[in-house]
């Protein structure tokens, strides 16, 4: 009888508690996939709602952008599936090939890419277009992660002038030449932010900040219209019919949505009032039609995505996976923050799309591929944790492996005679 009681207690321990049964998902990867799917559904609805007027006017069908968006989602799901299935360590071996392909495409854009509104950003591929700069965002993260992982594992300090940073700067320069300042800043900015998070010596950190400040000033002065955009950032009404027009229309759209919005398809700003209503400023139309409550829901989704991505990074099986997942989190959530600030008039108009919500083929496909890599890292990390549990070991996070203290231990204060 005592034995049966013990077995009963053991079975009760193995059974999930009531609180666990109420969870929406079983692990962090399911949470990330669920958030991505919800954002894709919201984005698809918003793409159609914000584009059917211009689609009907320019292409004689209201479904022009919707059809292409759905095709991009299908391609993105294939990319997500491949990156989810393949071991994320594969990317370390194939970085030279992916990198070479990306740089060649960036050069081809400048040579043969069609000029649209004074910029060359796309390579025509029959019925669709390919934007290599979007791919360069993910490639720069893969390259930086590989370098940082080696330095951390070897307990070596991180340098700011390296062959890897030189290659990333080349992609940055080619993208800036298009010109596309927003994307160029992401290509260079995310790796820099990753290096700062992993750990830079104070002297190198100050040097990096100085270089970034001088570089940003140079980029702004290079194009006169950027100075004007910067001037109207915090007072767009001072030039409401010219440089501040897009921001004024965006704020008007957001404000007119009030608490619950005008309703799907009812927003008026897409009627040639707000430029780029279905791309960079898609969130303004979303707010107009769904109100503050809809906007709050999107904020919560991106905040949750950041939290679950950080959890994946913390549970990664190795330093490379941890740094790579951190870079992907910075890329996706960082772009979301930049876009939301831009649409809200708190950041200059730099042409950064809102992940999953804005219309944009290459951007959407690359983002979904990045999410596939992130989920693969989480899946392998979960397997490693289960192995340790079965072996009777206590799983510990890897966070301490790239902490500032582990790379730069405090110097001894003992005086030498």
| Angle 94-95-100 from CA coordinates, rounded to 5° | 105
Q: Rounded distance, CA 402 to CA 323, Å?
A: 9
Of all residues in the chain, the percent with pLDDT exceeding 90 is: 56
Token digits of residue 324: 């790579």
Q: How many CB atoms lie within 10 A of CB 300?
A: 11
* Amino acid 241: pLDDT: 87
pLDDT tens sequence across 101-160: 999 999 999 998 888 877 888 898 877 788 999 999 999 999 999 999 999 988 888 888
Checking if the pLDDT of 347 tops 90, the result is no
Q: Rounded distance, CA 133 to CA 166, Å?
A: 16
* Largest CA-CA distance found in the chain, in angstroms, rounded: 87
Res. 4 pLDDT band, cuts 50 70 90: very low
* Amino acid 131: pLDDT: 93
Query: What's the average model confidence in pLDDT over 24-44?
Result: 92
Nearest to 305, CA basis, from 369, 375, 362: 375
Question: Is cis: bond before 179, omega within 30 of 0?
Answer: yes
Residue 125, φ and ψ in degrees, nearest 5: -130, 70
Q: Rounded distance, CA 13 to CA 15, Å?
A: 5
**Measuring CA to CA, how many Å separate 377 from each of 44, 80, 82, 98, 244?**
27, 13, 13, 20, 43
**Measuring CA to CA, how many Å separate 155 from each of 376, 396, 397, 398?**
26, 19, 18, 14
The number of angstroms, rounded, from the C-alpha of 74 to the middle of its chain's C-alpha atoms is 19
Contact 38, 308 (CB under 8 A): no
Contact 391, 308 (CB under 8 A): no
**Which phi-psi region, left, alpha or beta, contains residue 146 (left: φ > 0; alpha: ψ -120 to 50)?**
alpha
Q: Rounded distance, CA 190 to CA 138, Å?
A: 10
Contact 147, 140 (CB under 8 A): no
* Amino acid 404: pLDDT: 39
Nearest to 407, CA basis, from 212, 150, 79, 216: 150
* Amino acid 195: pLDDT: 93
Res. 287 pLDDT band, cuts 50 70 90: very high
132 Cβ contact list (under 8 Å, min separation 6): 102, 105, 106, 108, 109, 123, 362
The answer to which of 41-55, 228-242, 274-288, 332-346 has the lowest mean pLDDT is: 228-242
């Amino acid at each position: 009888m005592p034995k049966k009681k013990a077995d009963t207690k053991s079975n009760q321990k193995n059974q999930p508690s009531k609180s666990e049964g109420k969870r929406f998902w079983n692990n962090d990867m399911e949470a990330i996939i669920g958030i991505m799917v919800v954002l894709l559904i919201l984005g698809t609805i918003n793409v159609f709602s914000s584009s059917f007027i211009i689609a009907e006017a320019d292409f004689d069908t209201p479904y022009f952008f919707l059809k292409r968006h759905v095709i991009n989602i299908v391609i993105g799901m294939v990319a997500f599936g491949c990156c989810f299935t393949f071991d994320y360590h594969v990317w370390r071996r194939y970085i030279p090939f992916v990198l070479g392909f990306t740089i060649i495409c960036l050069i081809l854009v400048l040579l043969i890419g069609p000029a649209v509104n004074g910029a060359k950003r796309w390579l025509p591929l029959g019925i669709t277009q390919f934007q290599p700069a979007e791919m360069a965002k993910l490639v720069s993260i893969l390259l930086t992660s590989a370098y940082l992982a080696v330095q951390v594992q070897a307990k070596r300090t991180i340098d700011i002038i390296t062959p890897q940073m030189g290659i990333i700067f080349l992609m940055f320069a080619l993208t800036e030449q298009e010109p596309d300042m927003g994307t160029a800043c992401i290509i260079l900015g995310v790796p820099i932010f990753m290096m700062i998070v992993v750990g830079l010596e104070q002297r190198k950190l100050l040097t990096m900040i100085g270089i970034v400040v001088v570089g940003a000033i140079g980029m702004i002065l290079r194009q006169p219209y950027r100075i004007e955009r910067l001037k109207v950032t915090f007072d767009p009404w001072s030039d409401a019919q010219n440089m501040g027009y897009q921001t004024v229309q965006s704020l008007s759209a957001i404000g007119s949505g009030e608490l619950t919005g005008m309703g799907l398809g009812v927003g008026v700003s897409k009627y040639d009032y707000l430029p780029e209503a279905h791309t960079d400023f898609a969130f303004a139309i979303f707010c107009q039609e769904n109100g503050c409550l809809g906007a709050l829901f999107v904020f919560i989704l991106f905040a949750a995505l950041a939290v679950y991505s950080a959890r994946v990074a913390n549970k990664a099986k190795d330093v490379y996976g941890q740094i790579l997942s951190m870079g992907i989190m910075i890329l996706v959530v960082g772009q979301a923050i930049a876009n939301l600030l831009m649409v809200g008039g708190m950041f200059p108009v730099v042409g950064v799309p809102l992940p999953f919500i804005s219309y944009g083929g290459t951007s959407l496909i690359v983002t979904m591929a990045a999410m596939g890599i992130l989920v693969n890292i989480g899946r392998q990390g979960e397997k490693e944790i289960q192995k340790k549990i079965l072996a009777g070991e206590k799983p510990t996070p890897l966070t301490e492996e790239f902490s500032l203290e582990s790379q730069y231990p405090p110097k001894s204060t003992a005086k030498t005679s």
